[in-house]
A and B are shown apart, each in its own frame.
Chain A
């Protein structure tokens, strides 16, 4: 016991010593303006860190394995740039990035989506990618101008986009065919339909004993799905044209919320005030007690992630556009891309840019990475990567319906709790649809100035 205690005390003392001595390692700050002019970039020596959300399809069930293989390929070309891969998760990853920034331990490269990236850029933590976008000729090669809009804050490109895909909805073809109602689903062309057609089918499926589209409002996971679904029903606009104001409380917005409220109360829509998109998807792909004939959030990458479950449940799911009043929906879409943090080290920034270029535009790796996200390339020169895949060519045809990308407005992140909060308040009868719409606009507008 005595020896043990002495050992402990020694341990404590030595730790406190280490604690004191290592505090002095101050970081030298190099001005970022300094341009590293290396004639042959392949000789550039640097060590950079890359943080990635698990957006690429996981290989062999091992997280990070695919990302490591990319680094290995990169090092064949650039042997002197060491890249450390770190995987972060969707549950708490965003918080981790924020604390890392505060603790001066931010990564050099981040693989994420515009919602957060533009925010970091506005706050001054990122390196402008204007030069990269120009240098690689992305501006001339872009498949859809909306994607460029989503990658900048209007002045500066903070994200280097690589792949994109639309968010749509899906229906359970197996169930619809069983009930003989599949011909009420738009299955030709762009598969667009009107709100009236959708409601008619919803009511028929309700009679047949199915649950309808689930209005999930228990958190922010996938809440873009409910935003797009609800506003399209009446062609309402969540924001005005120049994205300077939230406009849900205009007549069309209130009408849309009223429709949702009525649908939930009448039972042709299903409410889940305690669930998120993940729950709705689960209900759709793995029915155990209740079967849902449709789900309000779907995309090519979601489809491939859920294919196994659909097969196990013997369900064939097909994608259709969101129903809208005039039959011409405005779709939300996701964009994947890279951001580079300004860690005050010109060499690292130069290395990071090379790495991003390699991951996005390399002849082989660039295309392979787009495929690994199950999305579409942002470059027209990449061509049709999914040739012969009917399903994917349908998704690809939807670019013309892309709506205004508002995920980059100021305060986007703090608007979201008010979105699902007002839905909850309405469904649990704390507010009527009009009050809910006004409540949302008032609070969401405040977030624009933050």
Chain B
């Protein structure tokens, strides 16, 4: 491009008067303009989203219809899905996944709420200290936390059995991670400690932002603590609760490294979740990628259903 032409070209874009884009924009109706502006704002997000999320998801969906391993790539329609639902290990993992979410999400939310209600009116130092403490497992990092817990749970040289035996509470070692009565709970406990930090921070902030005049007024009218909580505080922090429930559910569904590092899904698949099974299927010989992708799709549908139910529940509750 010659410099002159370039200047001309540049001029066309720079001068507001005869800028073709500007004049096109001016011709649009107000709602159309809204749309154009909105998409300009969304552009960076959409570029990243479509390149690094949507494309891989579609490709995963597509390959779930194939017998896809390192050795072959053959179209088999819904064959993988049919196989899935006759696979007892998959069904067991499905059950565990739902169990894990249904048990730990309410505990995490209720515990965070309880801790925040107790802490939010305490003085700043107490509040900060507790907030920091509940966040410590995140600071420590999953791998290190797991190493420490694994040592505590060790049946022979672990501190937990040692203490219980010294106190004469048990006479024989408990296989914390190898006993189907305890293994899932062991994982749930660690999951809880690594998950409540964020919700507590958000709840304390949300409670602190509530309109105090309303609370005072209700108290003057003779409302007791429980009534104040139920009718003023609880609705006030509802958006935070929705948010906390959603992120906790997501995190719980993705609970993977805890299982990988602690139990490998055992004993006898009692702690295996779909997430873990997807990993085992795709990354252990014979690398059944198509089959794993089909599991991923089922997992995605379940997660989608959960989100839908949650949104519906909360919508009806706030309206």
Which residues of A are interface residues toward B (Cβ below 8 A)? 9, 12-13, 16, 19, 94-95, 98-99, 101-102, 116, 119-120, 122-125, 211, 214, 217-220, 270-275, 279, 282-283, 286-290, 292, 410-414, 417, 420-421, 424-425, 427-428, 430, 447, 450
Using Cβ atoms and an 8 Å threshold, which residues of chain A touch B154? 275, 279
Judging by beta carbons under 8 Å apart, are A275 and B178 in contact?
yes
What CA separation (Å) do A417 and B93 show in the bound complex? 14
User: Closest approach, in angstroms, between the C-beta of A20 and any C-beta of chain B?
Assistant: 9
What CA separation (Å) do A424 and B263 show in the bound complex? 11
Judging by beta carbons under 8 Å apart, are B179 and A421 in contact?
no
Question: Which of A19, A217, A279 is most buried by chain B, counting CB atoms within 10 A of its CB?
Answer: A279
User: Closest approach, in angstroms, between the C-beta of B70 and any C-beta of chain A?
Assistant: 4
Judging by beta carbons under 8 Å apart, are A275 and B155 in contact?
yes
List the count of A-B residue pairs having beta carbons below 8 Å apart.
123
What CA separation (Å) do A411 and B281 show in the bound complex? 12
If A125-B70, A417-B280, A424-B268 touch, whether A274 touches B285 (CB-CB below 8 Å) is no
Contact of A290 among B156, B282, B289 (CB under 8 A): B156
Does B269 make an interface contact (CB < 8 A)? yes
User: Closest approach, in angstroms, between the C-beta of B60 and any C-beta of chain A?
Assistant: 12
Question: Which of B157, B285, B289 is most buried by chain A, counting CB atoms within 10 A of its CB?
Answer: B285
Judging by beta carbons under 8 Å apart, are B156 and A98 in contact?
no
User: Closest approach, in angstroms, between the C-beta of A260 and any C-beta of chain B?
Assistant: 15
Judging by beta carbons under 8 Å apart, are B162 and A430 in contact?
no
Judging by beta carbons under 8 Å apart, are B183 and A274 in contact?
yes
Using Cβ atoms and an 8 Å threshold, which residues of chain B touch A219? 263-264, 266
Does B51 make an interface contact (CB < 8 A)? yes
User: Closest approach, in angstroms, between the C-beta of A414 and any C-beta of chain B?
Assistant: 6
What CA separation (Å) do A439 and B266 show in the bound complex? 16
Judging by beta carbons under 8 Å apart, are A288 and B71 in contact?
no
Question: Which of B266, B280, B283 is most buried by chain A, counting CB atoms within 10 A of its CB?
Answer: B266
Judging by beta carbons under 8 Å apart, are B156 and A283 in contact?
yes
Does B287 make an interface contact (CB < 8 A)? yes
If A94-B283, A98-B287 touch, whether A272 touches B266 (CB-CB below 8 Å) is no
Using Cβ atoms and an 8 Å threshold, which residues of chain A touch B183? 274
Using Cβ atoms and an 8 Å threshold, which residues of chain B touch A282? 157
Judging by beta carbons under 8 Å apart, are B284 and A273 in contact?
no
Contact of A218 among B177, B180, B280, B284 (CB under 8 A): B177
Judging by beta carbons under 8 Å apart, are A283 and B263 in contact?
no
Does B193 make an interface contact (CB < 8 A)? no
Contact of A274 among B267, B269, B283 (CB under 8 A): B267
Judging by beta carbons under 8 Å apart, are B266 and A217 in contact?
yes
Closest to B182 in A: A274
Interface pairs (17), CB distance under 8 Å: A13-B44, A98-B287, A219-B266, A271-B178, A272-B178, A273-B178, A274-B153, A274-B175, A274-B179, A275-B177, A283-B156, A414-B286, A417-B280, A424-B267, A428-B180, A428-B267, A450-B286
New contact pairs (5) apart from A16-B44, A417-B280, CB-CB < 8 Å? A124-B70, A220-B264, A412-B285, A414-B285, A428-B268
What CA separation (Å) do A411 and B285 show in the bound complex? 6
What CA separation (Å) do A186 and B289 show in the bound complex? 49
What CA separation (Å) do A200 and B213 show in the bound complex? 80
Q: Within residues 288 to 311 of chain B, which ones have a CB less than 8 A from any CB in chain A?
A: 288-289
Does B42 make an interface contact (CB < 8 A)? no
What CA separation (Å) do A225 and B168 show in the bound complex? 34
Q: Within residues 245 to 285 of chain B, which ones have a CB less than 8 A from any CB in chain A?
A: 262-269, 279-280, 282-285
User: Closest approach, in angstroms, between the C-beta of A377 and any C-beta of chain B?
Assistant: 29
What CA separation (Å) do A450 and B68 show in the bound complex? 12
Which residues of B are interface residues toward A (Cβ below 8 A)? 44, 47, 51, 69-71, 153-157, 162, 175-180, 183, 262-269, 279-280, 282-289
Contact of B156 among A102, A125, A220, A270 (CB under 8 A): A270
User: Closest approach, in angstroms, between the C-beta of A329 and any C-beta of chain B?
Assistant: 26
Closest to B283 in A: A95
User: Closest approach, in angstroms, between the C-beta of B296 and any C-beta of chain A?
Assistant: 15
What CA separation (Å) do A289 and B155 show in the bound complex? 10
Closest to A211 in B: B156
Using Cβ atoms and an 8 Å threshold, which residues of chain A touch B289? 102
Using Cβ atoms and an 8 Å threshold, which residues of chain A touch B264? 218-220, 417
Closest to B181 in A: A428
User: Closest approach, in angstroms, between the C-beta of B172 and any C-beta of chain A?
Assistant: 9
Judging by beta carbons under 8 Å apart, are A428 and B284 in contact?
no
Closest to A125 in B: B70
Judging by beta carbons under 8 Å apart, are A421 and B269 in contact?
yes
Judging by beta carbons under 8 Å apart, are B157 and A123 in contact?
no
Judging by beta carbons under 8 Å apart, are A428 and B178 in contact?
yes
Judging by beta carbons under 8 Å apart, are A273 and B285 in contact?
no
What CA separation (Å) do A122 and B71 show in the bound complex? 8
What CA separation (Å) do A125 and B287 show in the bound complex? 14
Using Cβ atoms and an 8 Å threshold, which residues of chain B touch A19? 47, 51
Judging by beta carbons under 8 Å apart, are B178 and A274 in contact?
yes
User: Closest approach, in angstroms, between the C-beta of B204 and any C-beta of chain A?
Assistant: 27
What CA separation (Å) do A420 and B264 show in the bound complex? 10
Using Cβ atoms and an 8 Å threshold, which residues of chain B touch A220? 264
What CA separation (Å) do A274 and B150 show in the bound complex? 10
Closest to B70 in A: A123
What CA separation (Å) do A427 and B180 show in the bound complex? 11
Judging by beta carbons under 8 Å apart, are A288 and B70 in contact?
no
Closest to B156 in A: A290
Judging by beta carbons under 8 Å apart, are B47 and A273 in contact?
no
Judging by beta carbons under 8 Å apart, are B157 and A421 in contact?
no
Contact of A430 among B175, B177, B268, B287 (CB under 8 A): B268
What CA separation (Å) do A101 and B287 show in the bound complex? 12
Closest to A115 in B: B285
Closest to A123 in B: B70
User: Closest approach, in angstroms, between the C-beta of B250 and any C-beta of chain A?
Assistant: 23
Judging by beta carbons under 8 Å apart, are B175 and A272 in contact?
yes
Judging by beta carbons under 8 Å apart, are B157 and A288 in contact?
yes
Using Cβ atoms and an 8 Å threshold, which residues of chain B touch A99? 283
Closest to B172 in A: A267
Judging by beta carbons under 8 Å apart, are A101 and B70 in contact?
yes
What CA separation (Å) do A9 and B265 show in the bound complex? 44
What CA separation (Å) do A123 and B154 show in the bound complex? 39
Question: Which of A125, A218, A420 is most buried by chain B, counting CB atoms within 10 A of its CB?
Answer: A218
Contact of A413 among B44, B153, B157, B286 (CB under 8 A): B286
Judging by beta carbons under 8 Å apart, are B286 and A411 in contact?
yes
Using Cβ atoms and an 8 Å threshold, which residues of chain A touch B176? 274
Question: Which of A95, A292, A447 is most buried by chain B, counting CB atoms within 10 A of its CB?
Answer: A95
What CA separation (Å) do A25 and B173 show in the bound complex? 60
Using Cβ atoms and an 8 Å threshold, which residues of chain A touch B283? 94-95, 98-99
